Amino acid sequence: MLGSQEVLDALKNIGLNLYERKIYVALLAKGVATAGEVSEIAKVPRSRSYDVLESLADKGFVVSQSSKPIKYVALSPRDALDRAKDSLNRDHAEMIERIDKMMKSPLADELEGIYKQGFTMIQPFDIAGTLKGRYSINQQIKSLLKGANKYVNVMTTEEGLNELYSKHYNTLKKTSKSGVKLRILAPKADAKLSEAFSGIAELRNVEKPLGRVMMVDGEHFLLALTNDQKVHQTQDVAFWAGSDHVAKEVLEPLFESVWFSAKK
């Protein structure tokens, strides 16, 4: 086999599929080759080698020569990696531009209308999901904050409060400016956090953390199922649901009872 398993794994990690990895390494060893020659070296079906070589050319790993039959040349690995990075940056920038353009267009309003129409037909037990990993949880928190219209109640831990500040402060600030009332229950914050939150939310202290839960407008809630002090962020798990019964009749009374006994 050409190339160590570590090399093939590294190429996989940067987005090359199995056939692309095999053919690129084979072409590196051969230097210049036709599709048929390189497929034989790499032990890849000849019928697939043409598509794979074109894909590698698009990604910046090989170039084709205008000969008959067409021959392919492998670029030096560092040059290829540099080209691949430029290509990804360019594609990423183009995709961001398309998304921004769509968000500002009537198409987004049309999709939003379809969503709202369908949402009225959804049963409460359908509007729920389990989120695994801190990244997914933070993405959902961001979405809930952006969708808030009246109020947001948060009960969290010391680490959760720090994460609210580091990951969501700007969103919280915009939410507060839109007229949404923010209340946060957490262990005593340091002076920096207290000052930062003082202008956008009412912050109260609980001596002992009671977990992490967020309630939005009495309609949605997000409840952490793991202890953020005991699990790695990739193993953090939370449950989200759109249930006015649980949010308004179960969790909010608990929040209110703790809130009025907590210190400012």
Domain CATH code at residue 47: 1.10.10.10
Same domain for 170 and 85: no
Average pLDDT over residues 256-262: 87
Whole domain around residue 24: which residue ranges? 5-91
Q: What percent of the chain has pLDDT over 90?
A: 30
Domain-ending residue, one of 65, 91, 117: 91
Which pair of tokens denotes residue 37? 């020659």
| 164-177 residue pLDDT tens | 999 999 999 999 99
Average pLDDT over residues 167-196: 89
Helix (H, G, I), strand (E, B) or coil at 224: strand
Place of tokens 């990696």: 81
Instruction: Provide the domain count of the chain.
Output: 2
Rounded Cα–Cα distance for residues 201 and 61 (Å): 52
Same domain for 176 and 130: yes
Residue 64 placed within a domain: yes
The residues near 138 (Cβ < 8 Å, ≥ 6 apart) are: 163, 167, 168
Domain-ending residue, one of 70, 91, 112: 91
CB contact at 8 A, 154 and 210: no
Residue 105 placed within a domain: no
Same domain for 175 and 224: yes
Same domain for 138 and 228: yes
Same domain for 145 and 69: no
* Residue 131 or residue 190, greater confidence: 131
* Other Cβ atoms closer than 10 A to 117: 9
Residue 244 placed within a domain: yes
Same domain for 141 and 210: yes
Is 0.85 surpassed by the pTM of this model?
no
Residue 241, pLDDT score: 86
Same domain for 222 and 144: yes
Residue 2, pLDDT score: 66
Same domain for 62 and 178: no
Which pair of tokens denotes residue 208? 């002992």
pLDDT surpassing 90 at residue 229: no
Rounded Cα–Cα distance for residues 113 and 258 (Å): 39
Q: 37-49 burial by CB neighbour count: b if 16+ within 10 A, else e?
A: bbbebbebeeeeb
Same domain for 135 and 181: yes
Angle, CA of 147, 151 and 154, to the nearest 5°: 95
* Residue 28 or residue 209, greater confidence: 28
Same domain for 145 and 205: yes
Domain CATH code at residue 132: 3.30.870.10
Residue 115 placed within a domain: no
Same domain for 130 and 87: no
CA distances from 7 to 4, 31, 152 (A): 5, 18, 49
| 200-225 residue pLDDT tens | 999 998 887 678 999 999 989 999 99
Q: Cα–chain-centroid distance for residue 75?
A: 33
Rounded Cα–Cα distance for residues 130 and 138 (Å): 13
Residue 150 placed within a domain: yes
Residue 170 placed within a domain: yes
pLDDT band at 120 (very low <50, low <70, confident <90, very high): low
Helix (H, G, I), strand (E, B) or coil at 74: strand
Rounded Cα–Cα distance for residues 233 and 134 (Å): 5
Place of tokens 């990604």: 59
Residue 137 placed within a domain: yes
Residue 196 placed within a domain: yes
